[in-house]
Amino acid sequence: MTISADTKETSLFIDGNWKPAASGETFAVIDPATGEVTAEVANAGEKDVDIAVASALEAFHDGRWTSIPPLERGRILRQVADLIRKNNMELAQLMTRENGMPMNMAMFVEIPMAADAFDFYASLVVQPKGETLPFSLSGAPPHHMTWTMKEPIGVAGLITPWNFPLLMPTWKVAPALSAGCTAVLKPAPETPLTALKLAELCKEAGVPDGVLHVLTGKDELGKALVSHPDVPKISFTGETATGRQIMASAAPYIKRVSLELGGKSPNIIFDDADLEDAAKSALFGIFYNSGQVCQAGSRILVQRSVYDQFTEALVKQAKKLKVGPGSNMGNDLGPVISKEQYDKISDYIQIGQEEGATLLAGGGTPEDAGDGYFIEPTVFGDVSPTMRIAQEEIFGPLASVIPFDDDDEAVRIANDTIYGLAAAVWTRDIKRGLRMAQRVKSGTLWINTYQVLTPTAPFGGFKQSGIGRDLGTESLNAYLETKSVFADLNDRPMTLF
């Protein structure tokens, strides 16, 4: 089977083949731009998890992936990157169809970043290496050697969200395979088609059968994968509440868990910043992908002396953004992912007004956008840091603009949240920017920019925004175990008896 933009039904990808769910059940994938069913996808269950994990475990133990010379494995991963670029248009169409993302964003942002991630981890296949250490033990004979070895952890369970249907799976599959693990990927039920296409491209690139599996299904599927005794590593991106449940389910098995969770990121604008650039970047920071971004700059903190000037510029530009189907290359924002998400965001717009914030832009549904789940870019002013719209992750196109007086107050407001995923600082004073980088508690901090990421730098959060990191060498190390080896080179072994 070939996954394409015209695919109407799909199967599970197990052991390099397309198979129906053991139960025969399917579920519908909805186009958020129309609300219509766009595909029927196999609904995997516990039995399918058992089959896929058993295959992945066999592939791990028989060495069909790790026995391939590292440079050759690197070439295979680079071939995946090349195929992602080659299939740019088809992947973008799939993402727009199941996620609603505007085609231009899919083609020029998400897909290139996904390909770059495979290229980066292809370069790291020779990275898992130990080190020789000095041997030091009081009273022991002198002739010993000590060194460490890095070994892949085994079968990795990878669970990804719907907001970036290609990028999120890529951020987990690429380092897992680079480390030598085998993997079972569970994409979000809203966006399974792109993940299945990624599996197809991996097979075409030369990834051996059984090394990567893709199971599509609902929440029960994720629970079965997390609690499977033969899956020692779980990597999850999604809501903080779900992350807590995963930690609890993984605890009886002492699984290695990486969690990239929610955020309520502050974008701090000082009075010495270039306000025009800051406003444009703040627009991208919160409204990119219709605000459905974990690191979205949803709290815009503005120094009081330029609050009115900045807010006026932000609102003026927000009102110019075009909302509509992602298939129209001229649209800036597509729909939000589902009716459930649409209702949640609409509720928060009502809550913001009831709390006393001033609705400056948006707040409704564009008249000419279509029948899907469209919401206007929404800006609230006069927001207090304690309001729900300033504390709770909304995951939609809603910005809260909060005034502050000085650096200390900006830091207090920025850090006054359970989250710590990302933050940004806008200032012409580099010393001030670097001081803020030291004081703001976040896994990523941008100075005079926003949403800029590279596969070479780790990404993840402080506090309840998660544990562990995606990207960078830190992500690779999360799929590896460290083994210490000791060798006694003396004529007789050391003994106390």
Helices 240-250 & 219-226 angle (0-180, nearest 10): 40
254 lies in the same domain as 274: no
362 lies in the same domain as 240: no
Judge whether 235 and 157 are in contact, CB under 8 Å: yes
Per-residue pLDDT in tens (0 to 9) along the chain, 497 residues? 788 878 877 899 999 999 999 999 999 999 999 999 999 999 999 999 999 999 999 999 999 999 999 999 999 999 999 999 999 999 999 999 999 999 999 999 999 999 999 999 999 999 888 899 999 888 888 899 999 999 999 999 999 999 999 999 999 999 999 999 999 999 999 999 999 999 999 999 999 999 999 999 999 999 999 999 999 999 999 999 999 999 999 999 999 999 999 999 999 999 999 999 999 999 999 999 999 999 999 999 999 999 999 999 999 999 999 999 999 999 999 999 999 999 999 999 999 999 999 999 999 999 887 789 999 999 999 999 999 999 999 999 999 999 999 999 999 999 999 999 999 999 999 999 999 999 999 999 999 999 999 999 999 999 999 999 999 999 999 999 999 999 999 988 877 78
Q: What was the pLDDT predicted at 216? A: 98
The answer to whether residue 323 sits within a structural domain is yes
Q: What was the pLDDT predicted at 6? A: 81
Longest Cα–Cα distance in the chain = 86
82 lies in the same domain as 142: yes
276 lies in the same domain as 312: yes
* Active-site hit among 200, 260, 376, 393: 260
305 lies in the same domain as 424: yes
- Look up tokens 């907001």; give the residue: 163
- Residue 173: name the closest of 163, 164, 165, 183 by CA: 183
The answer to whether residue 344 sits within a structural domain is yes
128 lies in the same domain as 85: yes
244 lies in the same domain as 272: no
To 5 degrees, how large is the angle CA 451–CA 453–CA 456?
170
Q: How far apart are CA 373 and CA 386, in angstroms?
A: 29
Q: b/e per residue, 370-386, with b = 16+ CB within 10 A?
A: bebbbbbbbbbbbbebe
The answer to whether residue 452 sits within a structural domain is no
The CATH number given to whatever domain includes residue 174 is: 3.40.605.10
46 lies in the same domain as 123: yes
pTM above 0.85, yes or no: yes
Q: Token pair for residue 7?
A: 């695919």
The CATH number given to whatever domain includes residue 345 is: 3.40.309.10
- Decide if 58 is catalytic: no
The answer to whether residue 136 sits within a structural domain is yes
20 lies in the same domain as 54: yes
The answer to whether residue 381 sits within a structural domain is yes
Domain span at 414: 266-447
191 lies in the same domain as 234: yes
Q: What was the pLDDT predicted at 62? A: 98
The answer to whether residue 403 sits within a structural domain is yes
Q: How far apart are CA 20 and CA 29, in angstroms?
A: 16
User: What phi and psi values does residue 242 have, to the nearest 5 degrees?
Assistant: -70, -35
297 lies in the same domain as 183: no
195 lies in the same domain as 282: no
Domain count, the chain: 2
